[in-house]
Amino acid sequence: MSNSETVKVNIKPEAADKIKGQVKDGQVVLLSLNDGSNKYSDVGGTCTVGSSFQFVILDQKDPDFTIEVENNAGLDLYTSPAEMQYLGNDLVVDEKNAAMSLADDGGVIDGAVTVNEYNK
């Protein structure tokens, strides 16, 4: 993925409904690794490095997540430079059989993306 300050993702309608159903007005959403590498991760260890993602819902922006993620779902969505190395082009979030997936032009990145509200 390029080092541009904007990323684009196509969020399919079923996935958009699942995410938006948990986001309140004024909240922001992060596309964040869930591999133990950041404060939002609920996974310990290093065996999932780069292969596990989550959407994190916050009441305000996180200064570490500076890259805006353009999306067709109307979400105020951001990611960080740490996540960029794992994201390719043509990002798509889909939902099938109650599971969300994140894919790019190279295939599925994570077949079990979660949505979590972060409370300090």
Answer for the pair 92, 18: CB distance below 8 angstroms, yes or no.
Answer: no
Let me know the angle formed at the C-alpha of 4 by 50 and 109, rounded to the nearest 5 degrees.
Answer: 25
pTM of the model: 0.88
The tens digit of pLDDT for each residue in 14-37 reads 999 999 999 999 999 999 999 878
Q: What is the pLDDT of residues 101-117, one digit of tens each?
A: 999 999 999 999 999 99
CB neighbourhood size of 46 (10 A): 10
Instruction: Please count the residues of the chain.
Output: 120
Beta bridge partners of 69: 7
6-117 belongs to which homologous superfamily?
HesB-like domain (2.60.300.12)
Give me the residue label for tokens 């994201």.
87
3-class DSSP assignment, residue 68:
strand
